[in-house]
Amino acid sequence: MPRAVGHKARFFLGASLRVFAVAAALTLSGIIGILWHEVVGHGLTCILCGGTITFVEVLGLRVYPDVTWIGWPFGFHFGMCGNDGLMDFTSDAVVRLGGSLSTWLVAVFATVMLLRRRKRGILTWGLALLSIWWLDAVLYTLPVWGLRKLVFWGSNYAEPYLAATDLGCPGWLFQVIVFGSAFVMLFCSIVKLATLKRMPAVPRNSAEQHDGFTDD
């Protein structure tokens, strides 16, 4: 009986640690994704279009031009990137589209690299996390259907959709591209992860590392 109880306790502890690790990895990936969306997607695109960045906020923390906690209006937005100096409507639309486009491009790249992997490992799981950054564009499109970014709460501003339509892309085509590509990337990632072999275990002693030979 004690052995059975001990086995169950170890199993429960191991399962709990795995759930915690997955949750922590997803959270960290999400925070990095928000920062990427704002700094690279909006900020860099703004600079390339001739504008300037006035501020960057992520989850209530202003990270530029100085680091200051300004408070997070929970349920409204996850990040913001202020800009100035954009000369025309087209440049503004390009900058607005740049946020979700940047995370979508990362997801495409990560999915392609994931498909090239032959074994599981830290890099593989890192690519898997990046491969779901298409969620940014998908969630930002939900307000088109009367929902909020996270279905029941969050922003109700369909930023990439409105930016794309302002640039002349038909709304239906944008939705097909976003949801179609998201489905393809998700399907490819799941199939690849399910068929990948595990990395070989690290030998426990130096004897195994030297093909059975040891120095006396």
**Summary mean pLDDT of the chain:** 86
* Enclosing H/E stretch for 2: helix 2-36
Cα separation of 28 and 50, whole Å? Answer: 32
* Pairing relationship of beta strands 61-64 and 79-84 according to DSSP bridges: unpaired
- Cα-based distances in Å from 171 to 133, 146, 177, 207: 21, 15, 10, 63
Confidence of residue 214 (pLDDT cuts 50, 70, 90): very low
pTM: predicted TM-score of the whole model, two decimal places: 0.83
The more confident residue out of 150 and 79 is 79
pLDDT score for 39 = 96
Hey, what are 35's tokens? 């920062």
Cα separation of 63 and 69, whole Å? Answer: 9
The more confident residue out of 50 and 215 is 50
pLDDT score for 120 = 85
pLDDT tens digit sequence for 130-179: 999 999 999 999 999 988 887 777 778 899 999 999 999 999 999 999 99
Confidence of residue 57 (pLDDT cuts 50, 70, 90): very high
Report the range out of 101-115, 138-152, 200-214 with the highest average pLDDT. 101-115
Contact 150, 139 (CB under 8 A): yes
DSSP string, 80-126: EEEEE---SHHHHHHHHHHHHHHHHHHHHHHHHHHHT--B-SHHHHH
Count CB atoms within 10 A of the CB of residue 56. 19
pLDDT score for 2 = 57
Count CB atoms within 10 A of the CB of residue 120. 15
